[in-house]
Each structure stands twice: as C-alpha cells, then as structure tokens.
Structure 1
C-alpha cells in the first residue's frame, strides 16, 4: 500500500486512472512549479497536431540552425546545417530529451521560436491548463515557465491520444540518422524495460525543478498515469513513481 502522503518527498503528485479519469491520489496537484523537460510533452503535441493537419510531415528533413546547435543541457549533439527527419527529432525529443531536438522541431513547425511558444500557451488555454505558462519549447529554467501536476496530467492524456507516441516513448533505445550517420539514443525513463507495463512518457530535471517524471503504464487494460514533481534525487523519484503505480494497480486489479 502507499505510504502516508507526508512521507512522499515529491513536492507535487497526481495519480490518475486514465480509463475512468478518476484521481487515485494527489498532493499539491495544483501548485505551480518548474516543469523542466516535461515541457517537451507540449512541444510534441503541437508538432503532432501539425503532422495530422499535414502542414508538416514525419519524413520532412529539418536543417539545424545555430540556436539548436548552441542550446545547453541534454542534447542530441546536433550541429549547424545537419539534417534530420521530424520523426527522428520526435524520437530524440521523447527518448533522449534533446533540447536541440525541441528547438529544431519548434523552428520547423512555426516561423519563429517565439511564435511556437505563443502556440504552446494558446494550446494550454484551449485544453484548460490553468496553472501553466511556457517561455520556451525545451524546459530550461525561466521564472515565468511553470506548470502543475494536474495540468501535466491533462496535457499528457492529450498527447497519448496519438497512439504512435507510446511506440516511441516505450523504446529503451532507438537508432536515428543525422544526415546519413546513424546514432543510437537511450531512453532517459528508467521504468522502460524494468517496470511491467510501462510505456512512457517523459523525464525532466533542472536544479530548480528537481527530478520530475511522467510515467504511464498499462496492465489488464487499465492505463495509469503517475506524475511526480520536485523530487530530491533520481533514485527517490524512481522509487516513489513505482510506489504510486503499484498502489494504483493494487486498487484496480483485484484478481
């Protein structure tokens, strides 16, 4: 069973049974907090919506600009003038959490990064996110860049309506091509391949945000979403997320 809420180290938590929409557990779920690379869930959603509209295509080849090359933090190590497909950039975004992939996708989707960020905030309002504001597509820290566990749950649910995203986020490793050169990337989500039923969705970390994780798993046709924000360490984040998922399945699966 789940330990007392006061024993959880996460600053904010939400646990949702996505089949029913029932909230199985929550702690400070509406608190505005830095959300680090969980931001990339919105970036992916906007890119996928443009793919569905056929304004861009998964096989489009994107040429890397100076901003993407120079971005700090987690990267695919893309260089100026490299080319890489939208599909491989999505893999780099969701699996390896590439900040350069986020910038490249934003620049390919809209005329400027600023316009992409405007669309991020428009989409947030459209889907009812009331404690969320974006200033960039990657999640590097900014005082005006934040979200809440509840908002991230809503956003994550919208993203996984596009079923292929779970095919991407469930890969322990993936091969992408930068130009003609293959590169193997590793999933930053520690539950993939180690927790039964886990198939997504996104990790995040900055010193200000702490260790964050959006984890989704399915067992016996029950899909569960667990979100933890502001964990003090990677190990604690992983253990508390597993604890939450175990608790959810103990409630939902009785046979």
Structure 2
C-alpha cells in the first residue's frame, strides 16, 4: 500500500482498463433496440463497451474475418516483408476461390496494393488467398499466423480456420473480439485504414462497389467491413468519428442488408447522442512534478505514461475528480515508466478506480556532492 505522503488534486481524470477497485458507477443508459442476435458498441479510445447484447457469443463472422487478414498483412508491410509494388503470382487455388472476387487469372501477376484494395473494398476472396500464399507460403500457414496474432491481441474467443471467412466448422468470433480487432487496426495502421472508406475499386477491367452502405448514408462513417454467408447472416463492423470521438459498432447475424445497416446506424447514433469521451491525461504530459533525492536531477515529471481516455454519459465528466498520490521519499535511481504512486478517481464523491502514476523520465544517481547535500537536507527535515 503506498503511503499518501504527498497528494495533489486536479480536475484532470484518467481511465484504464487495468484499473482497480471500481466502487462508483455512472447511471445506466438504456440500450437501443437492435434487430440482431449479437452486437456491441465500443468507444475506440477508451475501449469501454457502451452497449451490447451477446457480445461474447461465438458466431460465424463471414467476411469480417478479412479484418484479421488485413491486420496481418499490414504488419507485413510495416516490417518490410511485403511491399505495395510487389508483383504477386495468382495460383490455381486463388483462382478457384468462390464468392466475391476480382476474377484474377491463374498465372498472372498483380500488384500487392491492388490486391489489398480488392480485399478491403470488395471483400475479394481470390485476393485474400493470393496475398496469404505470398507472405506465408500457403493459406493454412497464414491462418495459423492469424490465430497467433489474435491471441496476442487478447482475442481469446475467436478462432480462424481460413483467410476469407467462408463458412467452416469452428471458424467463429465474438462481437467484442471483432470490435477490439477493429480498434487495433485503426490505432496501429492509420496509413492504411483509409482504404476502408473507399466506395469503389477498379482493376482496369471492371469497377465494383463497397457493400458498406453506411459510407453513403453517414458521412462520419469511414469504414470498416461487411460480411454475409448462409451461416453468419448479414454482418457489419462500422466506425465513425464525430467531434473527436470515435465509436465502433459490430452487428452479427442480422436477417438482411437493411437490418444490418439500420442496426449499425442506430448503434452509432445512440453512442454519440448519449456518451462523451475525453482525453484526461496525455502520455507525455506531466500530471505533477515531485522531488527526487540522491539524483542527478532534483525533480521528476510524473504522469499516466499513456493516453488515458474516459467515456461517460454526457454531463458526468463534471462530477469527476482525481487525486494524485506520490510515494514518500522518492530516491534515485528512478527508471522511466517506473510506478511511483497512484492516480485515484472519484465519481460524484465516490471512489471509482485507481491507476499507476509513473515516472515520465529517468533520473540517475547523483554524484557525491549531490548525494551529500540531499542527505543533509533530509536529516534537517
């Protein structure tokens, strides 16, 4: 238990999914009426679930699978293992793909960027298989990597059996896992995410159109993906940004195209109407500076160490207060990122949660003169 030797009050507040001892809760906002067996609405920045039904229920995801396909491929691009100008040979297996396609010819070669856009905009199965074979040697190897990456992202329920999303036994995901995957993709690959907002794609022979009708209906929507199959029904992941707040809505198993569009729109409108997300502590902005003893510097900046966001029903941010507590007698050396205290939140005068307060810079051990002066000052206190 940290000693509350030094306390600083501030109207700034923080929220972390790893927070502790939640005691107070904001008022419950009734969820919207959504015509689908499973759905979730999540804030992108805070990760908070704002409304849900059967969010952890395993269901076939259809072509929403391709979010993970794209996520893995974007990672290959970032690592330099795939380049947008690479020419990729089209195999017989890719040509044999059923469902949405670019109608690639076996034996031909296509630029990786064109295949990625076809995968994202048109949900092209032949493009997905060709890219998977290029980076992993086979679709099977690529699927194994998809599942490894899913575990690394904390998607504990989802299991992939193919890279396209076609119905297959055990190929399943949850709405919450898919929302978290979409958030990771948007956060980690902003340079490629804008492809999900493209309304059409042409390979020079034919022009095909994005199935995400919300791109036409709501100008704040900038992605992400649709899916449909016999087992999965009509599925959708949609993300929109309004006034600096980004939401992600996932709908699984809707009965038809209109139902999934209405569900996605209703979820997004509900979230923006009833909730507000604020950045409370920026990763590199000190919440407080405090004395450090025996160091080559006399003070050290302390903060959250990462961007901390909080989503609450509108009007409730004004009911929040933060208390920053620093460990008594902080002595060097202090490592950057080292926990040295806590940030405690109160909501409407009731404890809400507690989070680590960390050193934003490193302070090394001082020289003999600095240490001697500090020892004298400590002795005189």
Measure the CA separation in 1 of the matches of 2:107 and 2:242.
44
- RMSD of aligned residue pairs (Cα, Å): 1.7
Aligned 8 A contact 1:61 1:86 in 2: yes
User: TM-score of the superposition, structure 1-length normalised?
Assistant: 0.93
1:150 corresponds to: 176
1:186 corresponds to: 209
1:207 is displaced (CA, Å) by 0.8
2:78 corresponds to: 52
Measure the CA separation in 2 of the matches of 1:184 and 1:82.
19
Measure the CA separation in 2 of the matches of 1:242 and 1:185.
23
1:75 is displaced (CA, Å) by 1.0
Which one scores higher on RCO, CA 8 angstroms, separation ≥ 6? Answer: 1
Higher mean alpha-carbon deviation, 223-232 vs 122-131, is at 122-131
| Equivalent runs, 1:141-220 vs 2, <5 Å | 141-161=167-187, 162-176=189-203, 181-220=204-243
Measure the CA separation in 2 of the matches of 1:234 and 1:175.
24
1:118 is displaced (CA, Å) by 0.6
Q: Which runs of 5+ in 1 are unaligned?
A: none
1:83 is displaced (CA, Å) by 1.8
User: Which secondary structure state, in structure 1, belongs to the residue aligned with residue 217 of structure 2?
Assistant: coil
Measure the CA separation in 2 of the matches of 1:15 and 1:4.
10
Structure 1's 3 and 165: CA in aligned 2 closer, same or farther, altered over 3 A?
Answer: farther
1:4 is displaced (CA, Å) by 5.7
Which is richer in strand? Answer: 2
Q: Which runs of 5+ in 2 are unaligned?
A: 1-28, 277-313, 316-381
Which 4+ residue blocks in structure 1 deviate beyond 6 angstroms? none
Aligned 8 A contact 1:14 1:228 in 2: yes
User: TM-score of the superposition, structure 2-length normalised?
Assistant: 0.63
Aligned 8 A contact 1:92 1:185 in 2: no
1:249 is displaced (CA, Å) by 0.9
2:270 corresponds to: 247
2:126 corresponds to: 100
Higher mean alpha-carbon deviation, 115-124 vs 76-85, is at 76-85
Aligned 8 A contact 1:159 1:165 in 2: no
Measure the CA separation in 1 of the matches of 2:230 and 2:30.
26
CA shift digits 1:154-183 (9 cap, x unpaired): 11111112013331111112333xxxx444
Aligned 8 A contact 1:153 1:227 in 2: yes
Which is richer in helix? Answer: 1
1:111 maps to 2:137: yes
